[in-house]
């Protein structure tokens, strides 16, 4: 259909039919998640040189007693109150160039050393940006190109309503008469220049000020063209006119609901699908479901602290009540940042580098705002739990279809797996419920564990992985923290201690010591086999295999065969991190590539050496990377069948170098962590039957919860742990068989000891036996395969 035909159809089709079609377009593009921005409203000044007929900012302030501008101390006080209330956005709103109309505004600015309102705005934004966690979003009216560039440095996004494109609204008697900054050509110029400067922009229409539907279509058409030029229009607001006392238009009737719904639906049909469409719910109390049905996906900024200073008569909705209302209708309410997810993910293009850290800290892997205070490795905040049972609302969503495909045993596509990670609300419940049911069908209610000891023979490493707080380096200009290198006799002695305490496995990994070669690894195996021939040795990541082979001048396949001959029983599938080279280029640029990792693990399987598999998630990557990683493992397993289990490892950020540099998020959210277990169960079954929880990173309660979301294995019963603790985790000092049994009983599971390769143990330890915690001074013990 041509654009002309579409526009004619928009004018001809009844509003109800058009809205239903638009709602379907919105759900296809944005799913069943409705977003909002937790914000504070900072009216830097309520003075304006323009005289718009509907705006309280345009009233005569010439004799007003109120101050011309907020002081910086007042701005910071509002921002800090918002910060304490969990807000992310500081919305700066102000009139256009008041100093050109009001002498007292010019005097106020001059007395404080500012040449213009924009100068003061830049200073106020900088105060908030540098002294709080809030992200400034600026609605400052029309700005020049130079002013836009200055504002970009101190904010993350801007807003400028186009309102209506028709020039006639500038005529005498019309709403924009004597308002030079409302000239549509002037506003179009600024919107275009903002795109050229790579600034995320919010614009929109004001419905009900005398415009026709044809004029709204023309306005939407121009907005689409602007976005096609630069891709910068993240959001379009369809705002309904509400008359305000004391303004020239106070007697004009408010915009009709049908006109607003028609405009939302028209916007959905005309605008590209990647533009968010918003309508403020406080201006339509009780009608939010109708607005959603017509095609919006966002309800704008909502403040728990400040009033809507543009619409002071309209109270914000209560978040809790709005969430319940939407959930009852099958939607999930989610907080966002002032910058939409696509722009958060592409922040290098769209946001000044000074704000990148502040964008990352409150965001999840998709680019929406974090919804809880939990983080991996922390003991102070309990995990929020997982949904139990089937979803309360059974709506036919895209995610419901994807779940049904997985339940049918089919391989999901990368797009489908990534979509599952977006699940919220009823869809989140649906995914978790389906994963738990699949766990029960494929693995039953028995949760197995292995008694093992983990020996990290050195923490000296030639590599500089950005996430790793464990490895140390000797020499150089900077002293290092406690580097060590265990000799073979010490490794054997620690293995003897483990066997004496009931261990059936030792897991050995370490840093890539510059003086190690392949013979180092072979020598460790020979010594262990001579001393403890019945002990299963689970050792050497694909990176260590590559290092050993290259130092001996043999292929990795040949080196794996030699390792097996010397007594290696299986390999940990660590060093995987994220199997996508664009991510690896950031977090571990000199480590094995994705192709090398998959090749070496496949060679191990063909040599008769089983491996585990892992993912370390929650740092710089996104949902599509998780999907790519999971499917790479599934495809490898389809080919070789050598993977015993999949171990999701949430990124522990606290001491991680890449986090301290402001280049990584603070780990996954709890929802994302639960979904990693649930989605991996759906995407990997039945090929990889065992999904292992990581109690070292999740804590006992977190481990319990993931067993309700698809996990079926408890991993190693550790005597001590160091790698996760080096990264900042507060767990890992050992559990007992009795503690495991109690944890499992609380969630309806049965505990059973296993071997490394999931075989029954001939003489398992008593279920009440205590596995002693070893607390040596040398940090040589760690979780395996939960180490990075």
In three-state form (DSSP H/G/I as H, E/B as E, the rest C), the secondary structure along 414-429 is: HHHHHHHCCCCHHHHH
Residues of the chain with confidence (pLDDT) below 70: 1, 58-65, 309, 313, 469-481, 718-734, 765-788
Buried b (16+ CB within 10 A) or exposed e, 127-151: bbbeebbbbbbbbbbbbeeebbebb
What three-state secondary structure class fits 691?
A: strand
Give the pLDDT confidence score for residue 4 in this predicted structure.
81
pLDDT in tens, 45-80: 999 999 999 998 756 555 455 789 999 999 999 999
Q: Are 35 and 338 within 8 A, CB to CB?
A: no
Distance (Å, rounded) from C-alpha 242 to C-alpha 208?
8
What number of H helices and E strands is found in the chain?
Answer: 29, 17
156's CB contacts (< 8 A; 6+ apart) are: 135, 136, 137, 200, 337, 338, 339, 351, 352, 355, 359
Distance CA 657, CA 333 (A): 34
Residue 51 near residue 58, CB atoms below 8 Å? yes
Non-local CB neighbours of 63 within 8 Å, separated by 6+ positions: none
Task: Kindly state the DSSP code that residue 458 receives in the 8-state scheme.
Answer: B
Q: What is the pLDDT of residue 51?
A: 92
Angle at which helix 594-606 crosses helix 623-640, to 10 degrees, equals 20
Q: Rounded distance, CA 366 to CA 106, Å?
A: 44
> Do 744 and 445 meet the contact criterion of CB atoms below 8 Å apart?
no
Q: Can you read off the two tokens belonging to residue 379?
A: 């003991």
- What local confidence, expressed as pLDDT, does residue 378 receive? 83
Q: Is the peptide bond before 487 cis (omega within 30 degrees of 0)?
A: no
Taking the C-alpha atoms of residue 267 and residue 511, their distance in angstroms, rounded to an integer, is 56
User: For residue 521, what pLDDT is reported?
Assistant: 95
Tokens representing residue 548 in the block: 């050993």
Cα–Cα distance, 654 to 656 (Å, whole number): 6
The helix (H) or strand (E) run that includes residue 448 is: strand 446-456
- Using left for φ > 0, alpha for ψ between -120 and 50, and beta otherwise, residue 327 falls in alpha
E strand or H helix at 615 = strand 611-617
Per-residue CA distances from 50 to 57, 99, 145, 252, 332 (Å): 9, 11, 20, 20, 40
Distance CA 335, CA 678 (A): 23
Instruction: Supply the DSSP string of 755-769, one letter for each residue.
Output: -TTSPBPSSPPPTT-
Unique residue bearing structure tokens 């199997």? 579
CA distance 132 to 346: 23
Give which of 780, 354, 787, 706 is closest to 544, Cα–Cα: 787
- Token pair belonging to 277: 């469409």
What is the C-alpha separation between 96 and 117, in angstroms, rounded? 8
Q: Which alpha helices (DSSP H) does 507-580 contain, by range? A: 518-531, 542-552, 556-565
Query: Which pLDDT score, from 0 to 100, does residue 311 have?
Result: 76
Strands (E), 643-695: 643-650
- The mean of the pLDDT values for the chain is 90
**CA distance linking residue 244 with residue 46, whole number of Å:** 15
* 3-state secondary structure (DSSP) of residue 240: strand
Residues 31, 217, 8, 264, Cα dihedral to 10°: 30
506 strand-pairing partners: 453, 537
Across 670-725, the runs of DSSP E, i.e. the strands, are 713-717
Which letter does DSSP use for residue 153 in this model? H
As given in the structure block, the two tokens for residue 455 are: 């020996």
Given the DSSP bridges, would you call strands 611-617 and 643-650 parallel, antiparallel or unpaired? parallel
Beta strand 157-159 pairing with 536-539: unpaired
- From the number of C-beta atoms within 10 Å of its C-beta (0-12, 13-18, 19+), residue 566 rates as middle
pLDDT at 467: 78
What tens digit of pLDDT does each residue of 121-179 get?
Answer: 999 999 999 999 999 999 999 999 999 999 999 999 999 999 999 999 999 999 999 99
Angle among Cα 162, 164, 168 to the nearest 5 degrees reads 130
**Tokens (6 digits) for 12:** 């001809």
CA–CA separation, 653 and 510 (whole Å): 20
pTM: 0.91
Taking every pair of Cα atoms in the chain, the longest distance, rounded to a whole number of angstroms, is 98
Taking alpha carbons only, the member of 494, 500, 489 closest to residue 526 is 489
Token representation of residue 725: 């603790």
Rg (CA), the chain: 30
Residues whose CB falls within 8 Å of the CB of residue 85, separated by 6 or more in sequence, listed in order: 38, 40, 304, 305
Give the helix ranges, DSSP H, for 329-392.
Answer: 341-345, 347-350, 356-360
Phi and psi for 323 in degrees, rounded to 5? -60, -45
Phi, psi of 579 (to 5 degrees): -85, 70
């Amino acid at each position: 259909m041509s654009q002309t035909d579409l526009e004619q159809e928009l004018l001809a089709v009844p509003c109800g039919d058009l809205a239903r079609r638009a709602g379907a377009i919105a759900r296809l593009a944005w799913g069943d998640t409705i977003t909002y921005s937790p914000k504070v409203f900072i009216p830097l000044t309520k003075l304006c040189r323009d005289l718009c007929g509907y705006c309280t900012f345009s009233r005569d302030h010439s004799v007003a007693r109120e101050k011309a501008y907020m002081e910086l101390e007042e701005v910071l006080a509002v921002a800090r109150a918002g910060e304490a209330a969990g807000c992310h956005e500081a919305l700066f709103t102000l009139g256009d160039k008041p100093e050109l109309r009001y002498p007292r505004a010019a005097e106020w600015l001059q007395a404080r050393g500012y040449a213009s309102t924009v100068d003061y705005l830049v200073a106020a934004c900088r105060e908030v940006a540098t002294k709080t966690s809030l992200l400034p979003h600026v609605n400052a009216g029309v700005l020049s190109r130079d002013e836009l560039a200055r504002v970009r440095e101190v904010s993350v996004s801007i807003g400028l309503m186009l309102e209506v494109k028709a020039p006639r609204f500038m005529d005498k008697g019309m709403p924009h008469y004597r308002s030079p900054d409302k000239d549509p050509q002037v506003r179009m110029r600024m919107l275009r220049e903002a795109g050229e400067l790579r600034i995320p922009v919010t614009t929109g229409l004001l419905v009900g000020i005398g415009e026709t539907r044809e004029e709204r279509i023309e306005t939407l058409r121009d907005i689409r063209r602007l976005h096609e030029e630069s891709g910068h229009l993240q959001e379009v607001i369809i705002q309904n006119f509400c008359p305000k006392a004391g303004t020239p238009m106070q007697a004009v009737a408010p915009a009709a609901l049908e006109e607003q719904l028609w405009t939302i639906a028209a916007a959905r049909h005309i605008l590209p699908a990647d533009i968010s469409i918003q309508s403020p719910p406080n201006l339509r109390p009780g009608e939010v479901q109708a607005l959603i049905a017509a095609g919006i996906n966002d309800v704008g900024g909502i403040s728990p602290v400040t009033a809507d200073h543009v619409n002071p008569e309209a109270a914000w909705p209560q978040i809790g009540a709005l969430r319940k209302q939407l959930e009852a209708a099958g939607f999930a309410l989610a907080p966002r940042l002032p910058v939409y997810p696509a722009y958060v993910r592409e922040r290098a293009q769209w946001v000044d580098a000074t704000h990148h850290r502040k964008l990352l800290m409150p965001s999840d892997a998709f680019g929406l705002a974090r919804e809880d205070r939990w983080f991996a490795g922390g003991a102070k905040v309990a995990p929020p739990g997982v949904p139990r049972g089937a979803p309360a609302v059974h709506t036919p969503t895209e995610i419901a279809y994807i779940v049904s495909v997985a339940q049918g045993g089919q391989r999901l596509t990368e797009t489908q797996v990534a979509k599952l990670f977006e699940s919220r609300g009823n869809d989140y419940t649906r995914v978790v419920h389906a994963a738990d049911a699949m766990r029960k069908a494929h693995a039953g209610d028995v949760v197995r564990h292995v008694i093992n000891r983990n020996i990290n023979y050195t923490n000296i490493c030639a590599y500089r992985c950005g996430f790793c707080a464990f490895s140390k380096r000797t020499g150089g200009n900077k002293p290092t923290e406690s580097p060590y290198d265990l000799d073979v006799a010490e490794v054997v002695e620690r293995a003897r201690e483990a066997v004496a305490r009931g261990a059936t496995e030792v897991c050995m990994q370490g840093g890539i010591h510059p003086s190690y070669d392949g013979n180092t690894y072979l020598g460790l195996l020979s010594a262990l086999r001579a001393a403890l021939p019945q002990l299963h040795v689970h050792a050497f990541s694909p990176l260590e295999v590559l290092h050993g082979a290259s130092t001996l001048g043999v292929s990795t396949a040949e080196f794996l065969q030699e390792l097996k001959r010397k007594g290696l029983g299986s390999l940990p599938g660590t060093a995987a991190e994220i199997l996508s080279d664009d991510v690896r280029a950031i977090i571990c640029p000199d480590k094995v590539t994705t192709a090398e990792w998959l090749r070496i693990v496949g060679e191990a399987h063909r040599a008769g050496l089983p491996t585990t598999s892992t993912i370390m998630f929650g740092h710089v990557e996104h949902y599509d990377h998780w999907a790519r990683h999971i499917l790479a493992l599934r495809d490898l397993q389809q080919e070789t069948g050598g993977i015993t289990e999949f171990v999701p490892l949430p990124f522990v950020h606290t001491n991680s170098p890449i986090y301290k540099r402001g280049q990584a998020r603070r780990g996954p959210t709890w929802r994302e962590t639960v979904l990693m277990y649930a989605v991996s169960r759906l995407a990997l079954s039945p090929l990889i039957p065992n999904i292992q929880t990581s109690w070292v990173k999740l804590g006992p309660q977190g481990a319990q919860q993931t067993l309700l979301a698809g996990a079926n294995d408890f991993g190693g019963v550790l005597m001590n742990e160091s790698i996760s603790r080096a990264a900042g985790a507060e767990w890992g000092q050992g559990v007992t068989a009795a503690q495991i049994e109690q944890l499992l009983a609380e969630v309806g599971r049965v505990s059973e000891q296993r071997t490394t390769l999931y075989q029954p143990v001939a003489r398992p330890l008593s279920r009440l036996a205590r596995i002693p915690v070893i607390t040596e001074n040398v940090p040589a013990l760690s979780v395996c395969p939960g180490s990075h």
